[in-house]
Amino acid sequence: MSTSSLAILPVIIAMLLIFIGWIVCIVILVSKNKSTNTNTVPAPVHCTSCGELIPNGSQFCPKCGAANPYSAQYSYANQDGPSAGFAILGFFFPIIGLILYLVWKDQTPLKAKSCGMGALTGFIFNVAVSVIVIIIYAVFAASLLSMYM
């Protein structure tokens, strides 16, 4: 085997590892987003002042008239939910994922969490890939050098 064909080997190994890593990360992100889907349905709450059951999305308690502190969140809850698509977007573009997380975290926390999780996973993955590639090249360079010394 010539030295030029040997030099391509670490590139192939690194690309294969990156490809496997992508698939594993995306599968984990998608499965995590599906498992929390039940959180999006608003549940009836008890009044904070008298304890009476307040119907879904109602702004005031039907018994004492106290304001329901969760009603504002419920109006957003209909548009909120974990999103596998945004998680994958965040994974490939961590900067966009981080921006979307900061924009959405108050109004649609579940969707924001998907973006944040994707961005975090993507960032960690990029760092891990860089480290792996450097290690593979270092090991390979060392073994090539030892052949000629």
Question: Contacts with Zn ion in 20-49 (CB under 5 A)?
Answer: 47, 49
User: How many residues bind to Zn ion according to rule CB under 5 A?
Assistant: 8
Closest approach, Cβ 29 to Zn ion, in A, equals 41
Closest approach, Cβ 89 to Zn ion, in A, equals 42
**Token pair recorded at residue 101:** 């997380």
Residue given tokens 């945004």 in the structure block: 86
Strand, coil or helix: what is 53? Answer: strand
Beta bridge partners of 46: 53
- Report how many helices (DSSP H) and strands (DSSP E) the chain contains, helices first: 5, 2
Among 28, 66, 96, 120, binds Zn ion (CB under 5 A): 66
Closest approach, Cβ 42 to Zn ion, in A, equals 18
Distance (Å) of CA 43 to CA 28, 46, 56, 89, 97: 28, 10, 6, 30, 29
Among 9, 15, 20, 64, binds Zn ion (CB under 5 A): 64
Residues at the contact surface with Zn ion, assessed by CB under 5 A: 47, 49-50, 52, 61, 63-64, 66
